[in-house]
Structure 1
Amino acid sequence: MHTQTPHRDLPRTRPSTEADGNGTEPNLQTLRKLFNVALAAVDPLQCMAPYLPPPPKGRTIVLGAGKASARMALAVEAAWKGPLSGLVVTRYGHGEVCSQIQIVEAAHPVPDSAGEAAAKRMLALAKTAGPDDLVLVLVSGGGSSLITLPAPGLTMDDLRGINKALLRSGAAIVDMNVVRRHLSSIKGGRLANACGAATVVTLVVSDVPGDDPAVVASGPTIADHTTPADALGVLQRYGIPISAAVRAVLEQPALEAAAVAGERQVHVIATAQLALRAAEVHAQQLGLQVVNLGGAIEGESREVARAQASMVREIRASHKARKPSLLLSGGETTVTVRGNGRGGRNAEFLLALALELQGEAGVYALACDTDGIDGVEDNAGGVIAPDSLRRASGLGLDPVALLANNDAYAFFLGLQDLITTGPTRTNVNDFRAIFISP
């Protein structure tokens, strides 16, 4: 019997003291409810079954990596008719209890030896697959760190150093994964290549803007159409120093990607847009007018906050029906780290948004990462209300200085306005919702 781990309800934030026609707490509760609705829509237990292929003549081997991969494995076991075997690696604390598929945990976002060992085992399992076998590959965001296997000539220390530098650089995930693919022995289609003539079906929970499966977890089963020169260009563009060993690998011709033998299928089963659409429908049922910007928003968190503050004012200026509105968006913003505080891109977005709005009446916002982890912190994100800056001042918090130090976590911790869900076991990137009273 399988035990389901439901998404934990979001905790209450500290009530605001600002008077409002609808009351502050109901507006924040609405935002938290919308986040829960969005999470439910992209729970693998709810959305995976229609994409499962028929059982093969031979064995079914399940391989996977990512923050949602253990939940995906649980969904496979719940729906599959017939025997299974395999190995899935997820982030520490994001596991599930499965009876046939082994779940292992490893480090994210900086890889460790557990992820390296899991990657080696996956390649070994893939190489056992024959022409009558099915290799079902479960991929989600975070997989790039969780299955890290250095290309020949490189060490784990080489990859860890590059990974840390990329994370601090403000590089977009698409650029980061170009580099990761070309320094790996398993990414960029190489896992599929190891499967030989077996049928390979890849199911993807996408955490990248545009939902390109070659980018999610650096595409272990997707042929790589970038080049080592592209990877060198990324490293140069972000000013990341590289060792002689890394340079030597990137100056070699690209390895072959996915093999042509065998059947290859790829299905993206959950996206940011699916989560946003579920929230949009629920908001409309509540009588809100919804502006959905889609799930592909990118850019520096502070710049996105500035742009969305302008949109809030435009919505209010053009408001004719005098009904509450909701501004929804997803995607992945970035933070170029210049300070030494505790941050997270969603917390940074919210703090920058609060400074842009300057306590504008009737505006409330929530920003959270759908995997439950904002950056490397223990929260998913947070919320702001019209009185956030005033309350912060009363606590002696300097929002401008905290933002400059990339220390938005301290701001929301002081206000007791962090949102902590724990691991959600899904991952379609950021969810942002701004409630706008007329």
Structure 2
Amino acid sequence: MQPALQDPPRLLRGMFDAAVAAAQPALCLPALLPSPPAGRTVVIGFGKAAAAMAQVVDGHWVGELSGVVVTRYGHGAPSGRIRVMEAAHPVPDDAGLAASAALLAAVQGLGPEDLVLCLVSGGGSALLPWPLPGLTLADEQAIARQLLASGASIAEMNCVRRHLSGIKGGRLALACRPARVVNLLLSDVPGDDPADIASGPTVPDPSDCAQALEILHRHRIAVPEAALALLRTGEAETPKPHDPRLPSIENRMAVTPQRALEAAAQVAERAGIAVHILGDAIEGESRDVAQVMAAMALQVARRDQPFVAPCVLLSGGETTVSLRGHGRGGRNVEFLLALALALQGHPRVHALAADTDGVDGIEEIAGAVIGPQTLARAHAAGLRPRERLDDNDAHTFFEALGDAVVTGPTRTNVNDFRAVLVLPPHGESNDAARPHARP
């Protein structure tokens, strides 16, 4: 067996680290910077990568520059001429309200020769609370908590957020006019739609109030009567594509989940291990996705179908957790615990799942790893895996085993990373796998 296969956790962690490294703003942003305008350049930004993105812009921009960005607590960094603020994620707070006010103030009084350089990354939805008239920050907080626990997809959550916000869904773009707006985006959403990244404050919104109402009804989200009235009457409608009120807007995609997965794949391929990227936009309940991934891994291990072991099944996207228990959630750790239960200790399957921003759910833990001995070790430690899963308490489970993946703030965000490694039978060469590697 090749050396890389003799230490599966190390191989999987190396792949994850490569995915995170490929998504660093310092690597992907400089080539996308526009030329300086004839007038002023104002930087605004929001998301978990906002401070790192601001650092890059400040370090590469020649000429006058000012601005403000907001990121999650603990994800800040000095950014020279650009002010960095911090606020709460995933439930907004007063600091986020202050940051929204600062961003709106920064783009006041601009002219047609000015440029607004907007730095957009995942997490911005929570970091920019700005309730519509008749609503309060407490309303936004309550709706956010319900959405997070409901199992709604990120697209559904952001549709609701856009329509109940005075800054998202293109409304911040309206405030920038008549200046030109250039968005530099780090995608953390399935499909890489700019309207869904941070709920699209500086891009037009293709969804409507009726869709937001349907999502609230289907997921049984309780909202104030004032919010329902805004949606029912259309007063909460957002600016749409081709809205003549919008300024000139250009979107430049800096990095996507697919690019990060490809960087991870190269780590395994250099070791002669085949990699199969199953998708960069996989959604659904974490435990349901785990059942499918387990079935695929077992088919590979038992039948050499549809791929030959050794190989890695690699995927990204954003799964969801419907909180029914009393645990702390975390879609990556819930995926892994469900995967371990489905695999039942198969001796040739290992896996790592983690969020590239270093935060799985609300925890300062990126994810975890599992292997053939995970369940046996858990039972020996007095843990009950099925009960932990039923209670949405996978974080406690993996912390007790010492198998959590902790990175600290990565200052980037290209969503979830899942790698399932299927080893060959003992003593078998992995030469057979090489023809299956991606070119």
Normalising by the smaller structure, the TM-score range is: over 0.9
Aligned to 1:238: 219
**1:231-310 correspondence runs (5 A):** 231-253=212-234, 254-256=237-239, 260=245, 262-310=247-295
Aligned to 2:175: 194
The runs of 5 or more residues in structure 1 that have no matched partner are 1-19
Q: Separation in 2 of the partners of 1:123 and 1:34?
A: 40
Partner-residue secondary structure (3-state), 1:287: coil
Q: Separation in 1 of the partners of 2:307 and 2:183?
A: 46
Moved more, 112-121 or 255-264: 255-264
Q: Separation in 1 of the partners of 2:389 and 2:113?
A: 56
Q: Separation in 2 of the partners of 1:221 and 1:166?
A: 23
Amino acid at match of 1:296: A
Q: Separation in 2 of the partners of 1:195 and 1:433?
A: 41
Contact 2:170 2:238 in 1 (8 A): no
Partner-residue secondary structure (3-state), 1:386: coil
Q: Separation in 2 of the partners of 1:272 and 1:367?
A: 14
How far apart are 1:247 and its partner, in Å?
A: 1.0
Q: CA RMSD in A?
A: 1.6
How far apart are 1:229 and its partner, in Å?
A: 1.4
Amino acid at match of 1:115: G
Output one character per residue of 1:50-70: Cα deviation in whole Å (capped at 9) or x when no partner. Answer: 111000011110001000111
Aligned to 2:91: 110
How far apart are 1:153 and its partner, in Å?
A: 1.3
Partner-residue secondary structure (3-state), 1:265: strand
Partner-residue secondary structure (3-state), 1:400: helix
Partner-residue secondary structure (3-state), 1:293: strand
Amino acid at match of 1:341: G
Partner-residue secondary structure (3-state), 1:104: strand
Paired residues, number: 419
How far apart are 1:98 and its partner, in Å?
A: 1.0
How far apart are 1:26 and its partner, in Å?
A: 1.2
1:125 aligns with 2:101: no
Aligned to 1:56: 37
Output one character per residue of 1:97-135: Cα deviation in whole Å (capped at 9) or x when no partner. Answer: 111000000000000011111111211221222111100
Moved more, 119-128 or 60-69: 119-128
Amino acid at match of 1:313: L
Output one character per residue of 1:354-405: Cα deviation in whole Å (capped at 9) or x when no partner. Answer: 0000000111100000000000112100000100000001100000000000
Aligned to 1:93: 74
Output one character per residue of 1:147-188: Cα deviation in whole Å (capped at 9) or x when no partner. Answer: 110011111111111111000001000000111001111111
Aligned to 1:144: 125
Aligned to 2:376: 390
Amino acid at match of 1:286: A
Aligned to 1:368: 354
Q: Separation in 1 of the partners of 2:396 and 2:196?
A: 32
The runs of 5 or more residues in structure 2 that have no matched partner are 425-439
Q: 2:321 aligns with which of 320, 323, 335?
A: 335
Q: Separation in 2 of the partners of 1:310 and 1:321?
A: 13
Query: How has the CA–CA distance of structure 1 residues 104 and 312 changed in structure 2, closer, same or farther, with 3 Å as cutoff?
Result: same
Query: How has the CA–CA distance of structure 1 residues 119 and 364 changed in structure 2, closer, same or farther, with 3 Å as cutoff?
Result: same
How far apart are 1:82 and its partner, in Å?
A: 1.5
- TM-score scaled by length of structure 2: 0.93
Aligned to 2:134: 153
Amino acid at match of 2:47: G
Partner-residue secondary structure (3-state), 2:420: strand
Moved more, 299-308 or 120-129: 120-129
Amino acid at match of 1:215: D
Contact 1:42 1:428 in 2 (8 A): yes
Q: Separation in 2 of the partners of 1:47 and 1:196?
A: 27
Amino acid at match of 1:79: H
Q: Separation in 2 of the partners of 1:261 and 1:405?
A: 46
Q: Separation in 1 of the partners of 2:177 and 2:2?
A: 64
How far apart are 1:25 and its partner, in Å?
A: 6.6
Q: Separation in 2 of the partners of 1:74 and 1:321?
A: 43
Query: How has the CA–CA distance of structure 1 residues 152 and 291 changed in structure 2, closer, same or farther, with 3 Å as cutoff?
Result: same
Query: How has the CA–CA distance of structure 1 residues 61 and 245 changed in structure 2, closer, same or farther, with 3 Å as cutoff?
Result: same
Contact 2:9 2:350 in 1 (8 A): yes
**1:338-349 correspondence runs (5 A):** 338-349=324-335
Amino acid at match of 2:251: V
Output one character per residue of 1:228-251: Cα deviation in whole Å (capped at 9) or x when no partner. Answer: 111111000001122111112212
Amino acid at match of 2:387: A
Contact 1:193 1:259 in 2 (8 A): no
Contact 2:143 2:223 in 1 (8 A): yes
Q: Separation in 2 of the partners of 1:334 and 1:421?
A: 22
How far apart are 1:322 and its partner, in Å?
A: 6.3
Q: Separation in 2 of the partners of 1:22 and 1:286?
A: 8
Q: Separation in 2 of the partners of 1:352 and 1:321?
A: 23
How far apart are 1:83 and its partner, in Å?
A: 2.1
Q: Percent sequence identity over matched residues?
A: 52
Output one character per residue of 1:269-308: Cα deviation in whole Å (capped at 9) or x when no partner. Answer: 1111010011112211110111111210000000000000
Query: How has the CA–CA distance of structure 1 residues 380 and 255 changed in structure 2, closer, same or farther, with 3 Å as cutoff?
Result: closer
